[in-house]
Structure 1
Amino acid sequence: MTGLRYVYAVCRPFDAPLQAQLTGVADDPPRLLPHGDLVAVVSHVPEADFSEEALRAHLENLDWLTATARAHQQVVDALTVVTTPLPLRLATVFRDDSGVRQMLEEREAAFRRTLDRLNGRVEWGVKVFVETERTEQAGSEPAQPAPKPASGRDYLRQRRRQSRTNEDLWSRAEEFASGLHTALAGRADDARLHAPQNPRLSGAAGRNVLNAAYLVSRDTSEEFVEMVDRTKDDAPGIRVELTGPWAAYSFAGDETGRGEADEERHGESGGESGEEKTGEES
């Protein structure tokens, strides 16, 4: 198949096969392109869709961007099962195999350093939400509806009381999230704090007070997950969500960009697609 070369990730050579029937962007199966002691994971993509000019238009199309990012993520997820990949930016393309090899050669030292740092590690995501609709449900009994205000003064008093209750819950949630992050960061090799999730974009219920990523050894991941699970019922009205294991997107430095799949993990806005545009390289 002719076309441009789409690069998903760089990794060290590995022997385990990728899952059968795996396809990537443009429904083309990924293949391994070795160069020295590095391997680029690539597939063919049509120039009509991935030339620099075509990409400029496509990256403004949310449906196209989402489908491409999910196909990209599918390959990276498959790699994460068998090795430690260093994901590259969404829509990193080259004219041919020689262009990919040249890129590997020029960035060899940086790739090696990052792969050594990430070796044997995965990323786990943890979010903490305040569930404001459960503010009144601190006990086992269902909350009773507030009595109908008899006057404007009663109405304002009820509003102030509810506001204070919500503020107390948010304060407790922020304290809980801070303590949880400190504890989890102490068990991880590295940690990153991301911007709080915008509920209008994510559709997630509640107010996000912690949106963090943790770099954790595969060997200790089970203990890390159990540590998160033990906190989930510690605070009424507060929800803890755990996602992963992922490739270490948050810890790959400048080699990776924030694509749609990464935004789904961290809840960031999809309106920054211009950052993903690497375009065609020769």
Structure 2
Amino acid sequence: MTDGSALYVYALVRHREAAADGVTGLDGRPLRLLRAPGTEVAALVHEASPVPFQGGDEQVRRWVGEQNAAVTTVWERTGSVLPMTFNVLVADEPPSDRLPGGRSAEQRLTSWITERAQEITERLAELAGRCELRVEITVDRTAVGAPEQAARAGEEQPESRSAGMRRLLAKQREQQAKNVAGQLADTLHAQTRHALLAVAEDLRDRGHARTGPDETGVLSAALLVRDEDIDTVGRLLSDLRTREPATRVRFLGPWPPYSFTDDAASPATA
């Protein structure tokens, strides 16, 4: 891809000198902060072709990882960031009757930031000292069930039973485990969501939790928390695991607040 005629935008931040020094992005491209004149807001960018980055799954995953690493580094240096999604590009404006020369990508981006500077500044202030955590909770169906029923099923299944009957009883036990796990998951969803919201400033559901073949989903969520509350969330989830041994917990982060950035605040429409 040949660089030039567009800016690839990684994030919006409060301008801070040297915050992007030594930071590289996609394919090792050096990044810089582009400050909008008259504001305290800057965009983390590099020059690029106006054509979106495209490639195979492995290559795209590598690019996304490089983008995340760059945004995280600048986030840690500035304390607050509005990260962009992958492939946010601002291109040079084509010539028109009003502007025969068109506007450059830099002019378009800084103009867009200037128009929304107050909104962006306020959101950056709201997110200062905050991070995103992701929580996924499931129930392991092999670790739940009604022991008494399982014992009775074992007594009722001597080796003399036919293979068909043994398969039927096995399916009945599997369905019973699913039912018990589903009931537990419903209870834990409400309890855990309430407990997390007592700590987190915001919670965004992320759809169904990733589940293995023997798991029932409980909760998949992104949390916006203050930096000092990360350990509190960890203890809450540890207590859940101790209280309900059948639960499986995935606790990820801290990350920049990707899930709490307004999608409408994208310079792609500059």
> For 2:187, which of 175, 195, 206 is the aligned residue?
175
The separation in 2 between residues aligned to 1:212 and 1:24, in whole angstroms, is 28
The separation in 2 between residues aligned to 1:149 and 1:104, in whole angstroms, is 77
What are the superposed Cα offsets for residues 153-212 of structure 1, whole Å, 9 maximum, x if unpaired?
Answer: 45423421331122102321331232111101111111111111455xxx7973332101
- Cα offset, 1:37, TM superposition: 1.0
Aligned to 1:262: none
Aligned to 1:128: 137
| Residues 181 and 216, structure 2, Cα contact 8 Å, conserved in 1 | no
State the number of aligned residues: 244
Residue 186 (1) aligns with residue 198 (2):
yes
Three-state SS of the structure 2 residue aligned to 1:229 is helix
Deviates more, 1:211-220 or 1:61-70: 61-70
What is the TM-score normalised by the length of structure 1? 0.74
- Cα offset, 1:68, TM superposition: 2.1
Residue 222 (1) aligns with residue 224 (2):
no
The separation in 1 between residues aligned to 2:88 and 2:160, in whole angstroms, is 61
| Residues 86 and 255, structure 1, Cα contact 8 Å, conserved in 2 | no
The separation in 1 between residues aligned to 2:256 and 2:165, in whole angstroms, is 56
| Residues 138 and 247, structure 2, Cα contact 8 Å, conserved in 1 | yes
- Cα offset, 1:17, TM superposition: 4.3
- Cα offset, 1:90, TM superposition: 1.6
Q: Specify the code of the residue in structure 1 equivalent to 2:233.
A: F
The separation in 1 between residues aligned to 2:183 and 2:145, in whole angstroms, is 15
Q: Specify the code of the residue in structure 2 equivalent to 1:172.
A: L
> For 1:231, which of 231, 240, 261 is the aligned residue?
240
Aligned to 1:89: 85
Structure 1, unpaired ranges of 5+: 139-144, 258-277
How has the CA–CA distance of structure 1 residues 135 and 224 changed in structure 2, closer, same or farther, with 3 Å as cutoff?
A: closer
Aligned to 2:151: none
Aligned to 1:150: 161
| Residues 10 and 67, structure 2, Cα contact 8 Å, conserved in 1 | yes
How do residues 207-218 of structure 1 correspond to structure 2 at under 5 angstroms?
Answer: 207-218=216-227
Q: Specify the code of the residue in structure 2 equivalent to 1:100.
A: L
Aligned to 1:14: 16
Aligned to 1:37: 40
- Cα offset, 1:119, TM superposition: 2.1
- Cα offset, 1:21, TM superposition: 4.8
Aligned to 2:98: none
Q: Specify the code of the residue in structure 1 equivalent to 2:228.
A: D
How do residues 106-121 of structure 1 correspond to structure 2 at under 5 angstroms?
Answer: 106-121=115-130
Residue 66 (1) aligns with residue 61 (2):
yes
| Residues 137 and 237, structure 1, Cα contact 8 Å, conserved in 2 | no
| Residues 140 and 247, structure 2, Cα contact 8 Å, conserved in 1 | yes
Structure 2, unpaired ranges of 5+: 92-104, 148-153
Three-state SS of the structure 2 residue aligned to 1:84 is coil
- Cα offset, 1:255, TM superposition: 4.6
CA-atom RMSD, angstroms? 3.2
- Cα offset, 1:242, TM superposition: 0.7
- Cα offset, 1:106, TM superposition: 2.8
How has the CA–CA distance of structure 1 residues 22 and 158 changed in structure 2, closer, same or farther, with 3 Å as cutoff?
A: same
| Residues 188 and 218, structure 2, Cα contact 8 Å, conserved in 1 | no
Aligned identity (percent) is 23
| Residues 72 and 255, structure 2, Cα contact 8 Å, conserved in 1 | yes
What is the TM-score normalised by the length of structure 2? 0.77
